[in-house]
A = this chain, B = another copy of it.
Amino acid sequence: MRQFIILGHDAAVTPDFTLNDLPGSAGRIDVLCRCINSAFLLSHGLREDVRVHLVLQDRYAIRLEGSELQYVNPDERSTAALLKRALEKAQEVDVTMEQRSSPGIYIKEQGFSKLLERVADEAGVVQLHEDGDPIETVSLPENPLFVLSDHNEFTVDEEQLLQEHASHRVSVGPKALHADHVITIVQNVVDRSQRQ
């Protein structure tokens, strides 16, 4: 199982954004949509052994399960509609316990700290950071949990938590890249390591 946590620092936490302006009205939720695309999509289908956790403004955790997902297409707009549905769910019902908003998508009121503590129990935490060690020089854990930030830097508190939990801090290359590109490269590195 490969897992990713993506920290969406500005992402909308209410569903009242328009799909016609994802970068603006939805607080750069387009970034998270592209991350979902990179984490799950293969040319012919979905990666079933992948789980993604999105953290929206340290308030909601949205979990996406590759083995259950349906209706995930490559374009940003249709993925944003699924996230909007999850945020609607959080307005309709109590989400202090996790609730399903559509097949394979679950939302819970939970911040990064609690989420990381829970998930780190069953996975090897790897922070993705442009200043980390080159990924090709690192021996990745068997069940990796990659943590990365959206278009913003990690906050001081997030860095502190990651220092406590992460076994590695790795970089995917010499240039600073967008989060979705980083995920694409990580998936490829792990794919190739499993072929060898």
Contacts and interface: CB of A to CB of B under 8 A. Distances in A.
Interface of A: 19-20, 22-23, 30-31, 34, 37-38, 41-44, 73-78, 130, 134, 136, 151, 172-178, 181, 184-185, 188, 191-192, 194-195
17 contacts: A20-B77, A23-B75, A30-B75, A30-B76, A34-B37, A38-B184, A43-B175, A43-B176, A43-B177, A74-B178, A76-B76, A136-B192, A173-B188, A173-B195, A174-B192, A174-B194, A181-B184
A181 B195 CA distance: 19
Contact of A76 (B75, B136, B194): B75
A22 B20 CA distance: 12
Interface centre among A19, A30, A188, A194 (most CB of B within 10 A): A188
A188 B191 contact: no
B176 A192 contact: no
Contacts of A136: 192
A188 B172 contact: yes
A34 B173 contact: no
A177 B172 CA distance: 18
Contacts of A134: 192
Nearest to A45: B176
Nearest 3 CB-CB pairs, A to B? A43-B176, A30-B75, A184-B184
Contacts of A176: 42-44
Nearest to A174: B195
Contact of A130 (B43, B173, B178, B181): B43
Contact of A192 (B76, B173, B195): B173
Given A172-B188, A175-B191, A185-B185, 14 more contacts: A22-B75, A23-B74, A23-B78, A30-B75, A31-B74, A34-B34, A41-B181, A42-B176, A42-B178, A43-B130, A173-B191, A173-B192, A174-B191, A174-B192
